[in-house]
Structure 1
């Protein structure tokens, strides 16, 4: 007979219950960690699918051309015994004055601009010695970026738009070019200047002195270096260290970027270049050809990259001390009235055959340019040059699979060949060969503008699928089953990706299709695997009819309809170039509309305090939106309807000092609303204030350096720049180290923004109160947003910093409105947050154009281009508002809520809002891609629609990276676990 167990004592019962509670707590925590990993994998899948989609679209849209590996030689039949008849020079000096616009080189009687009448040596000598000088308008092919221009100037081919994307990451040009031809024909090449040459021609340069080219705020280092090296080499020509001496100056270009063309510094740079050219002229002999040219021009703001006339019209000047050239009989083509508006122009690729033949070189194999008539001493020599160029162009066309069957051009060639063989009895060869060269070039342009519609379609379809999957996963699936469904989707996606990738690799290996390589087949297989990995578990549970019905129910409320209207209208503006260029004003209008509607809806709140605070935040939201929209740079297309206000001035530096104290104050005020200004909050906010002061000091140094030359204060003009640089870079590195490393490590290990307060009551008992309890998630998470904001502010120009400060205020104000209006789980909250990202992208001095990129901030941490510091600075400067928005989206859920007893459900609500933000950004990106395809033949495609789609793709990638690595991956899971450990039992 068993003995009955003794009843448990009270202490034993307590211990057993504690053990059971601990076990449940650990199980819940482990479950939370597991779900955090799954959510990261889910959003990584979305990121991978969208990146693959954008990559396919980019592959099909950014044009490419067939580059032949063939190289011309002097032993080729078309050049054998012919090139010697045209060689006129033994040596050459080539000076590229970056951004030398044509009207910089011709006189202006009114002299109303600083950039006129300062660089007139080419024009004066052209007028005085027409047989020794040729001055022409030099037309660049858009986009007008330096690397793209160098390729055209040396190969004679037409680099397509995709070359502009590698403007700061150039590889050696293996395509046949006259630099390589010089090297192959035992000509020594010496180079000084823009380090882009070193990147693309380094194997062929016998002597090289490269200088960093990206620091556009430095007007003098490169120019002074070019002068200091070239003049001694010209004085020592007998040493035979060079046959061709190349110098590439950057001061004029950098002056345009920094001040614009209408600034007295432009006059100083042009006069320096004029003196430099005169010094060269004094030192060359009659066997040396001098070539002075601009690689592109600049627009009225001093930037370039687009296709306006000011950006395309550079200058070309050829000079020799012997009679080597001639001018056309029709002198009206050299009319300089209206800044040379009707002056004779040549294509930049025309320099390639001209220079090659004058130097006794074979014309590079892929050349499509024609010889410049004035560069030859007679019509007979020009006719021979045209014949050799025609033979070279036709040889290239015969070797090109895409060009060889062009019957129109082939018939023109045969006709010209017969005329030449017959001795040109009617004297029509020169006229006919110009028609052939023009038609050949136009047919090539048309052919290379044939987009890869298959890749474009694949990209659009994949991105559209990602949008559908995001809507289903983030908004349609009930929150009570999203956790369980996520556990099914992740393994299904992994399995499907593996299966489809293997299948598509096998297809590629077996069939060897020409339209896609093995890599692209693998990516397509992975993308399709992701789609099926999501769809199979979802369609296993829900029918398409149910999903559609759920869609109608989910988005039927007033705020949801307003959010959908904002998204659809924002996506629709890309259907018009006029709306696209005014996107900055349109986004501010959307936000002001939201502010007005939220003020109206706040009046329906039950509590008086909510009504008052709702109207207060709404009105300030509208005012700050209108205020920040005043900060802008202008697109060229906006013309006189836009006045740029984004500038650097002394009052902005003073405003930064004020902001260094004001910004922490209003953050503290928002914390005080929920009594959260305790423990970590005072430490972080005070440290934030110190960092803001340090950033202001840094930009004060930038301002002093920026205005040193024209300062009215002697002590500023006498500043030691080396010491200033040392202090400035040291300060910037300290700030970056604090904001990006120390602060984030401290955040991950620091205390919460709460305080235990114990009070004595009237009954002599003691009462405990946890201050900050009602906002324990939001107050702690926002400290992380402050860390990244500090880093972004460092790399943002002063007026942009004021914009970012207003962005932070608007975000906090939005969270208060979200709480008052009760729209935490509504579509409107992430959409408005996304609109704030666009508003402040524009107000921080950006547009969706290549010239508006602030390349100069890449030198905030280093004096030279250094990976990853240069690239990180440019990314944070350009996409800073979007990064802040992607970090802050989780606060829609976390702001002003107490610790949750259901942390996984809380995490799921965060995921829903992250997905909603991604839905909005995906819809905008998809629209940009679709309309770029629709308008691919539009006159403004490379100026408006192509840059906008590239911007949309980059924003999509950046937001995906931030969501996966930080918002979902690093911060939210860690924070919820930390609070669950403290309050979860």
Structure 2
């Protein structure tokens, strides 16, 4: 530190030597630091920093200057810092803007509430008028104009309680008095305006924040006990859902009265800054969640094991990391390693798979998912705080908004190849039958090619390659036609085709080992999952069309990684079940002869063994995959990375409500797709054997609750840190935006899980039931 200070002193010495006489040198720090090195907090030493003004042509330290006299009289307060006995002159950081503006001959920005630094105006103007008096007059007029503009805005009522006091101070400041008294009154007015506005803006309602945090925190155990109750399989899923909804409804109704009653009592003892509606809503939310916990927790405590899943450890690490601003800044890199933490052990377990076929599948698809996610993470946009250690790869350059040339070259080939890859994965389970080939060829491929073509034309619109500005209107009309065709074709034609078609199966005549003719059902083992995958591809195509070229490649990798992960999960479940079957046969357990015979038949016939339900690890991995997709598609937890271009996909001008919806789909597409993929984890390679419908419903609910639990803990972690660090220097650049992102993501996750289950999964089950004539 000593060497660095000496180096900076040498730099300043050199700058002063080269300084012109009419130049002002301003040296200041953005924040301070205490003796322990802490900075960015709300301590006095941390929020204060040094300021040095120097000019060869103007002295700031004249002992008989007006500013010195006023400071000596106590009108400009000095500050005694901790550990010092002598006070030091002090100003507000906001005062620098009006001071520099007037010294440069510029008007003070309208929305600035600072007061000019009096020491900088200790000279006379050419007409012998004191510069400080003129500067203060301009300062007062600007502040008064801002207050009137603010009062005419939608926030007009905020200033009503103090408006008379402000106007009285303004009249006094603009009255006929001597120079010294005029400067004092003008300074009092600008400081009063700053004080009143700061009281309105720079305050936190701790009671409301605490109530919100309490509701968020109590929601986590309520979701957890619900998840554990579904996973335990002790009671029927229908019974658990019914009892949970009933308990939540009764608890919420009682909580409304409790919240209002507590508010009424608090008005007598200690009034709380809450409205009746806020108290009722908070009480209903808290009591509803508490009732669910009370209902479901007793049985779970008895059955709960002490084994902690890897997904839970990753979740705790993710949520705890929000307490560090460095973690939030570099979250785009960290979520990649968190996902790999879940994927790699699962893939390595394939080495011990009981059959060579399963070993190849687990290792192969695990490697595919790992490579795809790693390639996704190579697409980056940089936050301001990441510089100079970050390089933009999503765009052609750091200052550009167009895709790089390599993305332009790969977009169309990848759009053509992706449906082929989907069919190849479906063919593993024999599900590339029925509507699947036509759907991939006639719906998905044209949609992906059309969206890639739209963004390719947008990349070169107006350039000489495409005919310059002369051809721009025709190209813009062509792009609008392409985008609308894709959007309407997928949203209407693709949806109707999927809804009216049957499952992805086909009948094939063959013979058994004895030569007896039999009728085989191709795709039977994945009838549920393959049908829902086609529904998922509709949403994928819509997200694809609003994504820029680099993001389209990322979404393609996302889809391949998702399919690879699904195959890894299915294969590891098969391997675990076969291993259990083999141990049952070899150990001579207490199984009945019928169970031993059935296990032997499954081992020798290659049939799918009984499989366990999806674990929390898979739900955590799905959430992290959505996080990776969000960052890799050119976004960060800051508003500056919103891609406004997507608002004009299919619309030449800003069109409500479609433009905001398109921007939202572009921004949150990764999270939306991960939420819609929830039923895939439950339905993939689940054959429609007797009783499979109940299993499908339970597993889908289990994964959905696991994903909601992960997103809830993620939100709680960011909310607690944002509230705790509300006085931190980086709260509005780092912690608060991440909390707001977490809230939106949780809401979207809830909504699209419901839509996926209601519109997609339920219809997939109905298709299978109708095809095999099962009773619902």
Query: Do the aligned residues in 1 keep the contact of 2:114 with 2:190 (CA within 8 Å)?
Result: yes
**1:509-528 CA distance string (max 9 Å, x none):** 99997723344344334424
| Residue in structure 2 matching 1:826, options 610, 615, 625 | 615
**SS of aligned partner of 1:937:** coil
The CA deviation at 1:536 is 5.6
Q: Which moved more, 1:899-908 or 1:869-878?
A: 899-908
Query: Do the aligned residues in 1 keep the contact of 2:315 with 2:710 (CA within 8 Å)?
Result: yes
Matched, 1:479 2:269: no
Query: Do the aligned residues in 1 keep the contact of 2:511 with 2:517 (CA within 8 Å)?
Result: yes
Alignment partner, residue 450 of structure 2: 694
The CA deviation at 1:655 is 0.5
Alignment partner, residue 469 of structure 1: 222
Alignment partner, residue 577 of structure 1: 325
Cα distance in 1 between the residues matched to 2:516 and 2:354 = 35
**SS of aligned partner of 1:757:** strand
Query: Do the aligned residues in 1 keep the contact of 2:350 with 2:572 (CA within 8 Å)?
Result: yes
1:721-740 → structure 2 map (5 Å cutoff): 721-740=472-491
Alignment partner, residue 916 of structure 1: 706
Query: Do the aligned residues in 2 keep the contact of 1:861 with 1:869 (CA within 8 Å)?
Result: no
Cα distance in 2 between the residues matched to 1:695 and 1:827 = 35
**SS of aligned partner of 1:770:** strand
| Residue in structure 2 matching 1:661, options 416, 425, 431 | 416
Cα distance in 2 between the residues matched to 1:980 and 1:873 = 36
**1:172-196 CA distance string (max 9 Å, x none):** xxxxxxxxxxxxxxxxxxxxxxxxx
The CA deviation at 1:721 is 1.8
The CA deviation at 1:494 is 3.3
**SS of aligned partner of 2:653:** coil
Q: Which moved more, 1:615-624 or 1:939-948?
A: 615-624
**1:93-148 CA distance string (max 9 Å, x none):** xxxxxxxxxxxxxxxxxxxxxxxxxxxxxxxxxx9xxxxxxx9x9xxx9xxxxxxx
1:280-291 → structure 2 map (5 Å cutoff): none
Cα distance in 2 between the residues matched to 1:453 and 1:826 = 38
Cα distance in 2 between the residues matched to 1:763 and 1:635 = 67
Alignment partner, residue 527 of structure 1: 285
The CA deviation at 1:760 is 5.6
1:549-560 → structure 2 map (5 Å cutoff): 549-553=302-306, 556=307, 560=309
The CA deviation at 1:552 is 3.5
Matched, 1:894 2:683: yes
Task: State the number of aligned residues.
Answer: 625
The CA deviation at 1:930 is 0.5
**1:279-299 CA distance string (max 9 Å, x none):** xxxxxxxxxxxxxxxxxxxxx
The CA deviation at 1:600 is 1.8
**1:877-927 CA distance string (max 9 Å, x none):** 011111111111111111112104221232012101110011111111110
The CA deviation at 1:424 is 2.9
Alignment partner, residue 88 of structure 2: none
Alignment partner, residue 725 of structure 2: 935
The CA deviation at 1:727 is 1.4
Alignment partner, residue 97 of structure 2: 345
**1:526-571 CA distance string (max 9 Å, x none):** 4245325534643xxx52xx53454434xx16xx2x1112111111
Matched, 1:424 2:175: no
TM-score of the superposed pair, with normalisation by structure 1: 0.57
Alignment partner, residue 558 of structure 2: 807
Cα distance in 1 between the residues matched to 2:157 and 2:543 = 54
Cα distance in 1 between the residues matched to 2:416 and 2:162 = 66
Q: Specify whether residues 762 and 393 from structure 1 end up closer, same or farther in structure 2 by C-alpha distance, changes over 3 A only.
A: closer
Q: Which moved more, 1:429-438 or 1:396-405?
A: 396-405
Q: Which moved more, 1:452-461 or 1:433-442?
A: 433-442
Q: Which moved more, 1:518-527 or 1:827-836?
A: 518-527
Alignment partner, residue 751 of structure 1: 502
The CA deviation at 1:356 is 12
Cα distance in 2 between the residues matched to 1:852 and 1:584 = 13
Matched, 1:493 2:283: no
**1:251-292 CA distance string (max 9 Å, x none):** xxxxxxxxxxxxxxxxxxxxxxxxxxxxxxxxxxxxxxxxxx
Alignment partner, residue 703 of structure 1: 459
Q: Specify whether residues 982 and 402 from structure 1 end up closer, same or farther in structure 2 by C-alpha distance, changes over 3 A only.
A: same
Query: Do the aligned residues in 2 keep the contact of 1:633 with 1:845 (CA within 8 Å)?
Result: yes
Matched, 1:675 2:430: yes
Cα distance in 1 between the residues matched to 2:58 and 2:552 = 56
Cα distance in 2 between the residues matched to 1:939 and 1:394 = 27
Query: Do the aligned residues in 1 keep the contact of 2:140 with 2:189 (CA within 8 Å)?
Result: no
1:34-113 → structure 2 map (5 Å cutoff): none
Q: Specify whether residues 821 and 738 from structure 1 end up closer, same or farther in structure 2 by C-alpha distance, changes over 3 A only.
A: same
Q: Which moved more, 1:680-689 or 1:759-768?
A: 759-768
Cα distance in 2 between the residues matched to 1:582 and 1:614 = 31
The structure whose residues are more often helix, as a share, is: 2
Cα distance in 2 between the residues matched to 1:423 and 1:680 = 89
| Residue in structure 2 matching 1:644, options 383, 392, 406 | 392
Cα distance in 2 between the residues matched to 1:347 and 1:913 = 59
Query: Do the aligned residues in 2 keep the contact of 1:701 with 1:728 (CA within 8 Å)?
Result: yes
The CA deviation at 1:386 is 5.6
The CA deviation at 1:402 is 7.9
TM-score of the superposed pair, with normalisation by structure 2: 0.72
The CA deviation at 1:495 is 3.9
Matched, 1:610 2:358: yes
1:219-298 → structure 2 map (5 Å cutoff): none
Query: Do the aligned residues in 2 keep the contact of 1:494 with 1:533 (CA within 8 Å)?
Result: no
Alignment partner, residue 337 of structure 2: 589
| Residue in structure 1 matching 2:758, options 969, 973, 976 | 969
Query: Do the aligned residues in 1 keep the contact of 2:637 with 2:737 (CA within 8 Å)?
Result: yes
Cα distance in 1 between the residues matched to 2:102 and 2:381 = 35
**SS of aligned partner of 2:760:** helix
Structure 2: give runs of 5+ residues left out of the alignment. 1-21, 31-55, 61-94, 396-402, 574-611
Matched, 1:797 2:548: yes
The CA deviation at 1:467 is 1.1
The CA deviation at 1:636 is 0.5
Cα distance in 2 between the residues matched to 1:931 and 1:957 = 20
Query: Do the aligned residues in 1 keep the contact of 2:532 with 2:760 (CA within 8 Å)?
Result: yes
Cα distance in 1 between the residues matched to 2:543 and 2:493 = 15
Alignment partner, residue 583 of structure 2: none
**SS of aligned partner of 2:521:** strand
The CA deviation at 1:584 is 0.8
Cα distance in 2 between the residues matched to 1:865 and 1:735 = 19
**1:572-603 CA distance string (max 9 Å, x none):** 11111011100011011122333322232111
Query: Do the aligned residues in 1 keep the contact of 2:630 with 2:668 (CA within 8 Å)?
Result: yes
The CA deviation at 1:761 is 6.7
**SS of aligned partner of 2:518:** strand
Structure 1: give runs of 5+ residues left out of the alignment. 1-126, 128-134, 142-327, 333-342, 358-363
**SS of aligned partner of 1:768:** strand
Cα distance in 2 between the residues matched to 1:389 and 1:775 = 71
Alpha carbon RMSD of aligned pairs, Å?
4.3
The CA deviation at 1:867 is 2.4
